[in-house]
Amino acid sequence: MARLITQSQPFMPLKIEGLSVTSPIAILAPFPLSGTKTSGADNIKVEVNGHSIDFDVPPVIINGRTLVPVRKIADALGCTTNWDPSGYVTVENNNTYIYFEINNKVAYVDGEEYLLDVPPMIIGDRSLVPLRFISEALGLNVDWDDNSRLITISAD
């Protein structure tokens, strides 16, 4: 049975800050969507151990979860990434193996099943994954500063 990471309600419309999406097809549209705003999501900054990460596709907040391009964050965290055209992504370091499937809320960490609030998805030709989940699965700490819109990831 999947472990629920945080409470979410099934069959609810997807909510992107400032936008309500009721059709899964709408998620596949490249961002930014014409006439919509993700409530400052373009201004989200991410630091790993004090080093700023520059994303070619900016982080987005969907249903209160920040998603980031998987390859860029995995590289910054010292991991290798594999992407398969059939729709799955793996992230691996010496001790941890994480498996994601695009548009699927189930993820695996070292073979253990977890239920995500927001599934990984393709935005702007990049695979985006929940930042807090991948970071914490690797044993890292994640802090959010709402005023500066800064996410800090550290080993401390």
pLDDT for 133: 97
Residue 5, domain member (yes or no): no
Contact 137, 113 (CB under 8 A): no
Residue 1, domain member (yes or no): no
pLDDT for 63: 93
Residue 4, domain member (yes or no): no
pLDDT for 156: 75
CATH number where 63 lies: 3.30.457.10
Contact 68, 124 (CB under 8 A): no
Residue 10, domain member (yes or no): no
Which residues, given as ranges, of the chain have pLDDT below 70? 1-42
What order of strands is seen across the sheet that includes strand 45-48? 51-52, 45-48, 150-154, 141-145
Overall number of domains in the chain: 1
Domain that holds residue 90: 15-24+32-154
